[in-house]
């Protein structure tokens, strides 16, 4: 018998209704308890923790009933998308739109907030360009606000353009797995939501072969360290939609808020690049 998926998206074995019920109660307590302690709720006349819990329950029921109502999107790129002639803010002269130099390959990675991930690859030799955007969702040309609503199913990703002869994909994956927690589901650190899921979106079969090899090897290392299972989503890349200009190379821009939600496991992984 196949395992069933509950309304939280968690796969559970048949006959585990009691466990599911306990899980639901725990989730309710987790999300509702702090609400009664909020200053804005304390100052309301006659407000009780019970009433606050009821409010939370109503909000979560509404979210549950509307979670599959995706935004319609639009046929044209969003108005705040970077201009076609835009150049990379750090890798001077590098384009952020195709065409890219001959021989270049692309890979999209999700590892939480894209503010945090894009800058990790700028100093790596062989990286041609990077840009951030939204991928693997159901809404055409989404905005940041729409993606954050959780109704588009898009992921915040950094798309990396690289010269595989200088920078093999294995090296990029090593950086990725060492700088975030690939075992965390639908989030990274304090950033929670479908748009923050760990992911690798590939563009050809050779990349898929390399990804499978690396994930398998790294999982064996995590097992020895007593860590969890890698939850990284590995899929064929869907349409990439550029995020707003404001988000591109965010960490390098003057006045940027130096924010990083990444929570790496603190484990060093081997470089599985082919030996010359």
3-state SS record for the chain:
CCCEECCCCCEECCCCHHHHHHHHHHHHHHHHHHHHHCHHHHCCCCCCHHHHHHHHHHHHHHHHHHCCCCCCECCCCCCCCCCCCCECCCCCCCECCCCCCCCEEEEEEECCCHHHHHHHHCCCCCEEEEEEEEECCCCECCCHHHHHCCCCCCEEEEEEEEECCCCCHHHHHHHHHHCCCCCCCCEECCEECHHHCCEEEECCHHHHHHHHHHHHHHHHHHHHCCCCCCCCEEEECCCEEECCHHHCCHHHCCCCCCCCCCCCCCCCCCCCCCCC
Q: Give the active site residue among 53, 54, 113, 260.
A: 113
Biggest CA-to-CA distance, the chain: 73
Q: Which two tokens stand for residue 88?
A: 């990379």
- Can 113 be counted among the known catalytic residues? yes
Q: Which two tokens stand for residue 25?
A: 């109660």
Report how far residue 32's alpha carbon sits from residue 29's, in angstroms, rounded to the nearest whole number. Answer: 5
Could you tell me if 232 and 215 are in contact, meaning their C-beta atoms sit under 8 angstroms apart?
Answer: yes
Q: Which residues are catalytic?
A: 113
């Amino acid at each position: 018998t196949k395992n069933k998926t509950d309304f939280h998206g968690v796969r559970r074995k048949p006959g585990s209704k009691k466990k599911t019920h306990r899980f639901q109660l725990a989730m309710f307590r987790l999300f509702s308890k702090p609400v009664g302690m909020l200053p804005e709720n304390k100052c309301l006349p006659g407000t009780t923790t019970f009433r606050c819990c009821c409010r939370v329950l109503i909000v979560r029921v509404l979210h549950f009933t509307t979670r599959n109502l995706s935004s319609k999107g639009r046929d044209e790129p969003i108005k705040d998308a970077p201009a076609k002639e835009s150049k990379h803010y750090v890798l001077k002269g590098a384009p952020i739109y195709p065409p890219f130099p001959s021989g270049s390959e692309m890979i999209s990675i999700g590892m939480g907030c894209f503010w945090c991930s894009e800058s990790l690859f700028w100093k790596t030799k062989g990286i041609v360009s990077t840009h951030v955007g939204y991928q693997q969702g159901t809404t055409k040309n989404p905005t940041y606000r729409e993606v954050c609503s959780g109704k588009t199913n898009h992921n915040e990703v950094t798309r990396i353009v690289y010269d595989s002869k200088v920078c093999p994909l294995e090296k990029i994956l090593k950086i990725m797995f060492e700088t975030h927690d690939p075992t965390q589901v639908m989030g990274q650190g304090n950033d929670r939501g479908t748009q923050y899921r760990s992911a690798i979106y590939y563009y050809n079969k050779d990349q898929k072969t390399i990804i499978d090899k690396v994930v398998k090897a790294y999982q064996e290392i995590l097992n020895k360290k007593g860590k969890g299972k890698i939850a990284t989503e590995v899929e064929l890349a869907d349409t990439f939609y550029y995020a707003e200009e404001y988000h591109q190379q965010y960490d390098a821009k003057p006045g940027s808020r130096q924010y990083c939600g990444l929570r790496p496991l603190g484990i060093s992984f081997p470089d599985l690049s082919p030996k010359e």
